[in-house]
Amino acid sequence: MLNSVKKSILSFLTVIVLLISSIQGSSQLISKTDKKTLEVKEDSLQQIARFMILDTLEAGRLLAYKDFVPTFIRALQVKNSFYYPFDSVLGISKLYAPDSSFRIFTWYVEIDDYSGWQRGFIQMRTPDGSLKGFRLLDKSEWTDNAYTAICRDTSWIGAVYYNIIKTQYQGKNYYTLLGIDHEGLRSKKKWIDVLTFDDKKRPVFGGGFSFKEDSLRKPTQTRFSIEYKKEATTYVNYEPDLKLILLDHLISETDEPDFPWTYVPDGDYEGFKWQNGQWVHVNKVFNFKLEDGQAPVGDPLLDFKGNRNEEKLKQKSDVNKVKKPGGGD
């Protein structure tokens, strides 16, 4: 127990040191003039984002979205904006990659009770502080099969991300993205997708999710999701101690397996382990069921309602921001 407490204290102090280093490093890289410009633009983005996410009228949300994107791009064009956190722009997920080679913004604009737009932007870290990025547009509606599709450049199966995991295989970096898909009247999804970059450093979405160790095998997928009742609480996140992506096993609470909006956790856990460049499915992580509230979570970025914890999201991303590209996992 004492060793565990010492480890926790050490981990906390490390995070604090990295956060301080991040703030100091950012202030040195961004000039005073550019920082002032970014602060003004952030103030505008904060107001626009509030209407884009919270306006009760569809027309108001869409007008705000129309204003948000060009204002956002202009802000990112300011030199060294990569290091500016945009903390006050709520409703937008902002995550740095574990090696600080890029960061990804994602958000959801509700159109009506049945549909919405998922949007994103990848900002690459550049030596001269100039903007290099890729706007992401959700192609789910026009994709024949989201579980086999490889998406390139701006094409993307949309989700609002809350965690990034970096793995490697044969010298290549793989960035696994965990996110929520809010679209759906009665159900939600959580996606696990893989982002890599091709020889021209353009984004490619889609990796390998293998079920070769399951008793009932199915074809390898390019991404994985769980779909569940909108009011249910589900867990999908990476557990460093287990070296697994851990996720709830779901069942239909009404014994209607054809209806995803009836699915809820049953107390068991599945997982995915990284193996030879793929995520390999683990059908049953534990040989016993956990009681409610006893899931072996480390530091979840979602609260018990499935909402993002903005402070934890910021802390994790800030730690990633100060790491150098090509660093260890």
Q: Which residues contact 293 (CB under 8 A, 6 or more apart)?
A: none
Q: Which residues of 241-261 are buried (b: 16+ CB within 10 A; e: fewer)?
A: ebebbbbbbbebeeeeeeebb
Please report the sign of the dihedral spanned by the C-alpha atoms of residue 200, residue 208, residue 184, residue 140. positive
Integer angstrom CA distances of residue 233 from 94, 182, 267, 323? 23, 13, 12, 33
Share of the chain above pLDDT 70, in %: 78
Quote the pLDDT of residue 116. 87
CB-neighbour burial class of residue 33 (10 A; exposed 0-12, middle 13-18, buried 19+): exposed
The pLDDT tens digits of the residues spanning 206-261 come to 999 999 999 988 999 999 999 999 999 999 999 999 999 999 999 999 999 999 99
Q: How confident is the model at residue 15 (pLDDT cuts 50, 70, 90)?
A: very low
Distance CA 103, CA 254 (A): 41
The pLDDT tens digits of the residues spanning 166-178 come to 999 999 999 999 9
Q: How confident is the model at residue 317 (pLDDT cuts 50, 70, 90)?
A: low
Integer angstrom CA distances of residue 119 from 65, 135, 213, 214, 302? 10, 8, 35, 35, 20
The pTM of this model reads 0.81
The DSSP secondary-structure symbol of 73 reads H
Integer angstrom CA distances of residue 160 from 71, 91, 151, 270, 329? 20, 10, 17, 22, 23
Break the chain into its structural domains and give their ranges.
Answer: 92-321
Q: For residue 239, list its beta bridge partners.
A: 244
Question: How big is the chain, counted in residues?
Answer: 329
Q: Which residue, 124, 197, 116, is CA-closest to 158?
A: 116
pLDDT exceeds cutoff 60 at 301: no
Strands (E) located in the chain: 93-96, 102-110, 116-124, 133-138, 151-152, 155-156, 160-169, 172-181, 187-197, 203-205, 209-210, 224-229, 236-239, 244-252, 263-275, 278-282
CA dihedral 222, 102, 154, 186 (to 10 degrees): 60
